[in-house]
Amino acid sequence: MRAGVRPLRGRAGVGYRVHAVVILPLASVLLVASLASPAAGSEAEAPPRTNRYLEAPPSSAPAGEDFGPFFTGPPASETSFVKAPRRGSGLAPRLSVRDGLFCFVEDAHCVASLLASTDVGIGMAIIGENGPDLPYAQLTFRGGFSLRPVTLYRKRYHPWALGLTASYSVGTGGIRLQAEDVVETARTQATRIALVNQLWLWHRPHAFHLDASIGAVRSGVLGRDERIHDLWGTHVELALGFGGWASLVVSGDFLDEDTRIVFGFRTHALAGVPVAGLTALGLWAGGVL
């Protein structure tokens, strides 16, 4: 390795800071979680429906139940898990306001939702003729919101949601072969903004959903002059979500002479932040950080 390559590591972080768009949603989630009171313990205590965008005519069906074209109530033989009932109609998640008008953890029965997540992923960094393709791992923080346009317009459930997200990730460094030398950076940082298309596959709580995102990414790419150049590229992502708590994600960042394809696991910040916090606490108290 040539002398003078090392300082490149220091420059990799210039111009990147954790974006306020990511920090603020995470902070608001934690605040709401800390203030949230336990859900009502029984149907009799459930507050009335207040979400006028998902109002339905009165029905004989019990809250949260809908048994299709032939039954409006549960059949006599219906079985269920014993669990604490959800609030309101029984379909909105506990961490929501006005019966799913705004949800802090997204779910099928939400008109608008906060998107706040962390994810880890592994894949490949493909740099073509500039060197071998190497494994690439990244840690991502994402924030944003989603809306149901058709639900807002027609005032009834619709499976399509549209969202806007911003994310920041830090990953393993990039390399470039220059003659007989290997030039490498200490880390790869990227910021992204993306439009999210969600299709919820059914209506019940914790429904699965398909998310297709497309947007722009800005990240540093190691150039021929052995310097890091901040470039704009295309960001594409496909995810299979399990309610608002977890997703399996395949994402790609397509930059000039640098393509990163990553497969990963995404979880809501309410679960992901404690994981990151406990890890950081162990590193700090262990004298490593």
Partner 1 sequence: MIGSWMTLPLVLVAAPPPPLDPDPRASPPAAAVEADPKAEVPPLPLRDARRAEQAPPPDVMRAADNPRVPKAKPGPPFYDAADEAVFRARFDLTKDPAPPPRTVRMRCLVADPLCGITVEVQALSAYALRAQQGSVATANARTWHSARAQYDVWVQFPAVVRTIGRTRFNVLSMGPKGGIVASDGGDLWANVGLAMRAFFGKGAFAPHLEVTGALAFRIGGFTEGGAGFFGAGRTDLGPVRSPVGFAMDIGVGLGGFGSLVIGGQYDSPLAREEVPESLRTPAAGMFYVGFRGNILWGAPAAAAVTTHVLAGRLVVPER
Return the residues of window 29-68 that contact partner 1 according to CB under 8 A. Answer: 38-39, 56-57, 59-61, 66-68
Q: Does 149 bind partner 1 (CB under 8 A)?
A: no
Sole residue written with tokens 């398909």: 210
CA angle 90, 94, 99 (to 5 degrees): 55
**What gap in Å lies between CA 214 and CA 119, rounded to an integer?**
17
CA dihedral over 7, 229, 224, 176, signed as positive or negative: positive
Return the number of the residue (131 or 233) whose C-beta is nearest partner 1.
131
Torsion sign, CA atoms 55, 61, 64, 67: negative
**Spatial separation of the C-alpha atoms in residues 177 and 226, rounded to whole Å:** 10
* Segment lying near partner 1 (by CB under 8 A), choices 27-35, 127-135, 209-217, 231-239: 127-135
What sign for the dihedral angle of Cα 93, 96, 98, 102? negative
Q: Which of 20, 36, 199, 281 binds partner 1 (CB under 8 A)?
A: 281
The footprint of partner 1 on residues 98-117 (CB under 8 A) is: none
196-235 residues near partner 1, rule: CB under 8 A: 201-207
Please pick, from the candidates 134, 150, 162, 216, the single residue that binds partner 1 as defined by CB under 8 A. Answer: 134
Expressed in angstroms, the distance from the first to the final Cα of the chain is 27
Q: Which of 104, 136, 141, 145 binds partner 1 (CB under 8 A)?
A: 136
Report how far residue 5's alpha carbon sits from residue 176's, in angstroms, rounded to the nearest whole number: 11
> Considering only residues 166-195, where is the footprint of partner 1 by CB under 8 A?
170-173, 175, 177, 182, 184, 186-189
SS3 56: coil
Nearer Cβ to partner 1 (47/132): 132
Return the number of the residue (164 or 250) whose C-beta is nearest partner 1.
250
Mode of pairing for the β-strands spanning 102-103 and 134-147 = unpaired
Q: How far is the CB of 212 from partner 1 (least distance, A)?
A: 19
Minimum distance between the CB of residue 244 and partner 1, rounded to whole angstroms? 9
- Whether the CB-CB separation of 174 and 127 falls below 8 Å is answered with yes
Which one among 4, 44, 83, 129 touches partner 1, defined by CB under 8 A? 83
Which of 34, 60 has the CB closer to partner 1?
60
